[in-house]
Chains A and B, each alone.
Chain A
């Protein structure tokens, strides 16, 4: 009889294709939306955590200009000079110092070229911002001091110019400058902002200043504090030193800013938390919408179904058989919708993750919960009206308007 009941349920499903389709659609929307959104949200959280971990610890970034300047609000504070970096090195609280300036240029090798960002710095920079030289070597102190025409390239630049071959020892041209590749950086992937961090060429800052920018400016300075130095104390001493060097009066404000990377990290994390929360609420709404869709379809068909139940009871069906049939029907539709929804949600999440360059890490718990909720709605609204109807006297069910 169970087999017969399943057959009856399948018959009922195929008999009203539109109703079945809409029910399934409700489950699909709910399940797919939740899975896609939550998976993407969790992927981006994972990405942010990885990014935060890859930022150096105890690292400060110094910039000319006042604190908290929005874009386009930059004031005319004098740039840093290499002498400032040297002075900073003398502080006991400072571990290592890296001057950073950059310039957008086209790097050329043979027929290949790439528009990229040229960063002038020193080898401390690699350490403080967690870059690993995969092949070749970093700048030597002599090269840094003399501003030798040597460079280290990121994976993206290597792919564009050299493909998979070993770039070390090759000469690339940047503007009028010819520069020897001495190292290859290990790939870092995209940053939280979707920026390709491997699209970079690094050279000693003196080489960049002399050959490309033509000035003595240092755009930013990265400082790693010495171990066991508190961030507050480090910042205080750096501020004192820079105020003195930049001749800022006792009642004047700083004309430079000191940013603690940990602050950025925590800001990123909180932005991401808000974003994930937002995605989750959208997902919850979709789930609700899907659920209401299912509910509607089921309730709209109550009249017709009540009469159907009346007919079945009148020709000799037991209430239990009718309820089993409706339950099986609701379960079959919910499972069908759930499976399609899971497949759709995971594919959406997969492609979105690929596009946003974040890890794709579906959470089985979310999959199960989304499926469970939709299936529950489907079953409740498929089954309970049926149960009510099956408990009527057949004649009442037949008369139901």
Chain B
């Protein structure tokens, strides 16, 4: 639609760009190369599934993409900005405003209700209480936890805790959702519901989603599959349309 632009716009930088990222734990004998020269580019609006054997560096990569950890070497550009050049508080702001993280180990606040856990990121976003609560309730309802708002983690099953963690990442409507095995503790029906939710967010809201999974079935909801082996990207290919 409309007349073609007189000059071509400069190309928008990719949202996430990893260039030669390495992450080495420990030193000398005990050295572990969790990531060994990873190159990965993800554009806004993509839905990427990451697979790979246990210990292949998937979580390590997610932590670096989520600005929770720093690479030992290499460059990470978020929306064209070199992340290594940002200070701690700038990283905090980046996480606060653009990223939603679902941890492999949930990481919910103990002795804190599901509702308050989901509200937490929005507190730091500075949303007023009433709006936080409305959004948190809606997010909990989306993951099928209505009626469990006032339970704290110790009163919830593993799968329910995982869904609280998903609701927490969704509720703030971040630009990117980074989900580390978000369906690891869920049955197939629940897993499919969560996947449908992510697909809808990706399709309708244009949210960028990066998800680690062990199941082909879950990966098939994504549109691109990246396979890690021994801290390197072994395969990177589009996902065949689900039938």
Contact B89 A311 (CB under 8 A): no
Contact A311 B68 (CB under 8 A): no
Contact A314 B89 (CB under 8 A): no
- Among A28-36, A256-264, A284-292, A390-398, the one that faces the other chain is A390-398
- Which residues of A pack against B, CB within 8 Å? 1, 4, 8, 11, 15-16, 304, 307-308, 310-321, 391, 393-395, 398
- Interchain CB contact (< 8 A) of A321 among B107, B121, B124: B124
Chain A: CB-nearest residue to B89 = A318
Given contacts A395-B63, A395-B69, contact A4 B123 (CB under 8 A): yes
Contact A314 B69 (CB under 8 A): no
Q: List 28 A-B contacts (CB under 8 A).
A: A4-B123, A15-B112, A304-B110, A308-B110, A310-B107, A313-B95, A314-B66, A314-B68, A314-B95, A314-B107, A315-B95, A315-B121, A316-B93, A316-B121, A316-B124, A317-B92, A317-B96, A317-B124, A318-B89, A318-B93, A318-B124, A320-B89, A321-B124, A393-B70, A394-B68, A394-B95, A395-B68, A398-B107
Chain B: CB-nearest residue to A308 = B109
Q: Which residues of B have CB within 8 Å of A304?
A: 110
10 closest Cβ pairs, A-B complex: A316-B96, A315-B121, A395-B68, A395-B69, A316-B124, A394-B68, A318-B92, A316-B95, A15-B111, A318-B89
Q: Which residues of B have CB within 8 Å of A310?
A: 107
Which of A308, A315, A393 gathers the greatest number of chain B CB atoms within 10 Å?
A315
User: CA–CA, A316 to B110, complex, Å?
Assistant: 18
Interface residues of B in 41-92 (CB under 8 A from A): 63, 66, 68-70, 88-89, 92
Contact B88 A319 (CB under 8 A): yes
Contact A398 B68 (CB under 8 A): yes
Contact A16 B89 (CB under 8 A): no
Q: Which residues of B have CB within 8 Å of A1?
A: 126
- Which residues of B pack against A, CB within 8 Å? 63, 66, 68-70, 88-89, 92-93, 95-97, 99, 101, 103, 107-112, 116, 120-121, 123-126, 168
Which of B97, B121, B125 gathers the greatest number of chain A CB atoms within 10 Å?
B121
Q: Which residues of B have CB within 8 Å of A391?
A: 88
User: CA–CA, A319 to B95, complex, Å?
Assistant: 13
Q: Which residues of B have CB within 8 Å of A393?
A: 68-70
Q: Which residues of A have CB within 8 Å of B168?
A: 315
User: CA–CA, A321 to B92, complex, Å?
Assistant: 11
Chain B: CB-nearest residue to A392 = B88
- Interchain CB contact (< 8 A) of B120 among A307, A312, A394, A398: A312
Q: Which residues of A have CB within 8 Å of B63?
A: 395
Which of B103, B107, B108, B124 gathers the greatest number of chain A CB atoms within 10 Å?
B124
Q: Which residues of A have CB within 8 Å of B126?
A: 1, 4
Q: Which residues of A have CB within 8 Å of B101?
A: 314-315
User: CA–CA, A4 to B66, complex, Å?
Assistant: 26
Besides the known contacts A15-B111, A318-B124, 5 further A-B residue pairs in the complex with CB atoms under 8 A apart: A8-B123, A16-B111, A393-B70, A394-B68, A395-B69
Chain B: CB-nearest residue to A313 = B92
Contact A315 B93 (CB under 8 A): no
User: CA–CA, A214 to B68, complex, Å?
Assistant: 100
